[in-house]
Amino acid sequence: MIRLERRPSPSRMWTALTPVMAVLATMIAGGIMFAALGKDPVEAIRTIFWDPLFNEQFAAYSRPQLLVKAGPLILIAIGLSLGFRAGVWNIGAEGQYIIGAICGAAVGLALYPLDSPIVFPLMVLAGALGGWAWAMIPAILKTRFNTNEILVSLLLVYVAEQLLASMALGLLRNPEGGGFPGSRNLQQYDAAANLELFAGTGVHWGVVTAFIAVIFAYVLLSRHLLGFQIRVAGSAPRAARFAGVNPAALVVICLGISGALAGLAGMFEVAGPAGQITIDFNSNYGFTAIIVAFLGRLNPIGILLAGILMALTYIGGELAQFMLGVPAAAIQAFQGMLLFFLLAVDVLSNFRLRLGKPEAA
């Protein structure tokens, strides 16, 4: 008989090994899935993890794209991790990402064709405020009416998607686009474009902001009173109340920060790699960032590494679809396996596996 026995305290060794074991287990299970689809599992795994970085045929394109894909994932995951540490479960970052993109693009398009250095900063501010305002809906409902922030934030994603479609077909549609859905291309509007800061590197303002967010979160959690309150509220809610932590204020702060960062990610994406508001603008970065946050152990440095790893699966997955004919759904399942195995292996951080019947008390 196999049973789980709770450890007196979480195992540091297993806590460190969990992400590595989750990645290895994902590779094995993913290989089995690719084999069932009639693909060479070794070639598929190599194409996803090795070729984008070390195959000279693809590396010139893939390496810059690694930062382009990792930027929004890291930025959103940093915001989510602060809430998750405090026990505030924002599952609607995808909606906040969309609203941030809509607000940022709306400001840029409203000022078109003004050629001024204030256009882009105003777009950044609008993107952050848009994501923040969208996150305030579940925050206020949670603090005033004790609703479940998981359900409210998740359902608001579908509202945001409908708003996105409405904007692409209506208010933000390109008047010179011949009736096709979608806004003007912001990359062609110099004052609003989020272009590469260094040619050929993939580094734009969104990537820079993601690295700043990592530093900010690390300092906040390790050196600031708010970081202490976040950590205490998540690990010992009753002790947090005795320490003077205001649970309602913490909900508003955590949801506000995560919403603002998700909104920024959306704004940088629409002004940069995506270039315009379209019906299918959102790329599920908000949901994938949840995997990144947990894969990084809710630690800013871990999230930085996990974001790069997840970006690698995006680029490698696209390469596997093109080179090997792997279905897109299989790549999404492969990415989902990371979270599944992470949660499964994470059990060993708090429990031991024991054989035999439990001893009598």
**Residue 178 confidence class, pLDDT cut points 50, 70, 90:** confident
First to last CA, the chain: 18
Give Cα separations from 249 to 133, 142, 350, 360 (angstroms).
16, 11, 30, 46
The pLDDT, as a whole number, for residue 358 is 63
Please state the rounded mean pLDDT for residues 174-183: 90
Q: What is the pTM of this model?
A: 0.93
Comparing 8-17, 69-78, 171-180, the range with the smallest average pLDDT is 8-17
> Which residues fall within 8 angstroms of residue 50, CB to CB, at 6 or more apart?
none
Please state the rounded mean pLDDT for residues 266-271: 97
pLDDT at 75 over 60: yes
Closest by Cα among 107, 103, 127, 106 to 119: 107
- As a whole-number percent, the residues of the chain with pLDDT over 70 amount to 98
**Residue 6 confidence class, pLDDT cut points 50, 70, 90:** confident
Span 202-250, pLDDT tens digits: 999 999 999 999 999 999 999 999 999 999 998 888 888 877 889 999 9
Domains of the chain listed by start with CATH number? 40-52+62-325 (1.10.3470)
Please state the rounded mean pLDDT for residues 265-284: 93
Round to whole Å and give the CA distance between 300 and 218: 6
Asked, as a colleague might, if the bond just before 64 is cis with ω within 30 of 0, I would say no
Closest by Cα among 336, 319, 337 to 48: 319
pLDDT at 324 over 70: yes
pLDDT at 361 over 60: no
Which residues is 352 bridged to in the sheet? 5
The pLDDT, as a whole number, for residue 360 is 58
In what helix (H) or strand (E) does residue 2 lie, and over which residues does it extend?
strand 2-6
* The pair of three-digit structure tokens given for residue 306, joined into one six-digit string: 């996990």
Mean pLDDT across the chain, nearest whole number?
92
